Structure 1
Amino acid sequence: MVILMSNVITIQDVFHQFLPKYSETHLFSSEQHMAALCISKCKTAEMGANISECESCHKKYIHYNSCKNRHCPMCQGMEVDEWIDKYYISVIPTLLGNGVRLLGNIDREIKLRLCKTQTYNGITDLIYMRR
């Protein structure tokens, strides 16, 4: 069981926590090793950074460089919500505090069409398709 300390857990978080120990007992190909290293370092100080400054308030912003590895989910152009065509949502009548976002922060509306609902044992399943 994974306990989320924030709303979003990334593959980079998983690699930072588990890869060193996992690497002690498992062998990687050179391509797998390189991909894991790139993903672990992506958009961190280890990859270098650029600094920009706001023209009006002169506040400085640090933008860390990406690894540009084709296997890195942080470098790919496709948004995570574009990976999904069909959404299965189960509504369980239990309060979980603030809850956990399914897709992190999405800055645009995803248009869905309700295809099917079914209820059993107090749980309601909703099935949506992308419009």
Structure 2
Amino acid sequence: MITPKNKNNTVENVRNATKDISDIFRKHFYKIKSKYRYPYHVLRAVESICQCRTNSLGTQIYKCDSCGEEHEIAMSCGNRHCPKCQHEKRKDWLDKQIDRMLPIDYFHVVFTLPDSLNDLILHNQKILYGVLLKCVKETLIELGRDRMRADIGAIAILHTWGQNLSYHPHVHCVVTGGGINVDSKKWISSKKGYLLPVEVMSTLFKGKFLSYTKELQQKSTKRQGKDIP
């Protein structure tokens, strides 16, 4: 253990100096807000996070029945993007998933898209996020039935940022190491340390995403053509 050289470098002082995302937003976001165009939902999320647990949203007063001491607590924003508000919900969700886990092997599978598609996805988030998750689902189901003759299970989580907080949509999956046989309806375990062929999975996923994207583009082109007098 390293002892601090001066009293100002204590653990408590380090904690007090730590900034959370709301502090960063309040200090920097409004300086760059006018320089870029942000979607309404982004502005709303930032505004909520900045106001979370401040007097801006009001306060609640708790009073001790025994001594009468009062304690005032600022209200939370409740925004689903707020790390403060979602901390307990995230913990509860994780606990529920752990309770549902079977005594089997699980695999971590990540489906990602090339950076060259970032602009396209960023301007069509609602539609293409749905397409992305649909392709992930179909890829796992089809390969599970084709290679294992089984219906495998999975939990899929969409992430829209990378480790450096840059825009990088991808899907994390926790996949069961086996599934219910489509014929016998009995459990079939995957090979030890092996789920599905990565290259085949990648090719199938890529083909599906391109196919659905082209289909959407063709439908959009037809609609635009009909609107032209």
Match of 1:42 in 2: 52
Q: Hey, what's the Cα distance between the residues in 2 that align with 1:19 and 1:59?
A: 38
Identity among equivalent positions (%) equals: 29
Aligned residue for 1:71? 81
Equivalent in the alignment of 2:71: 61
How many angstroms apart in 2 are the aligned matches of 1:43 and 1:55? 24
Which of the residues 10, 13, 19 maps onto 1:9? 19
1:90-111 CA distances to partner (integer Å, 9 max, x unpaired)?
xxxxxxxxxxxxxxxxxxxxxx
Structure label with greater radius of gyration: 2
Q: What TM-score, normalized to structure 2?
A: 0.31
Shift of 1:7: 4.0
Runs of 4+ in 1 over 3 A off after TM superposition: none
Matched, 1:29 2:39: yes
Q: Offset at 1:10?
A: 0.4
Q: Which residue of structure 2 lines up, in the alignment, with residue 108 of structure 1?
A: none
SS in 1 for 2:81: coil
Residue 114 of structure 1 corresponds to none
Q: Which has the higher contact order (CA 8 A, sep 6+)?
A: 1
> C-alpha distance in 2, partners of 1:53/1:15?
33
**C-alpha distance in 1 between matches for 2:82 and 2:33:** 19
Whose helix fraction is larger, Structure 1's or Structure 2's?
2
| Structure having the larger proportion of residues in strand | 1
Q: Give the unaligned 5+ runs of structure 2.
A: 1-13, 95-229
TM-align CA RMSD: 1.9
CA distance in 2 between counterparts of 1:42 and 1:10 reads 12
TM-score by length of 1: 0.53
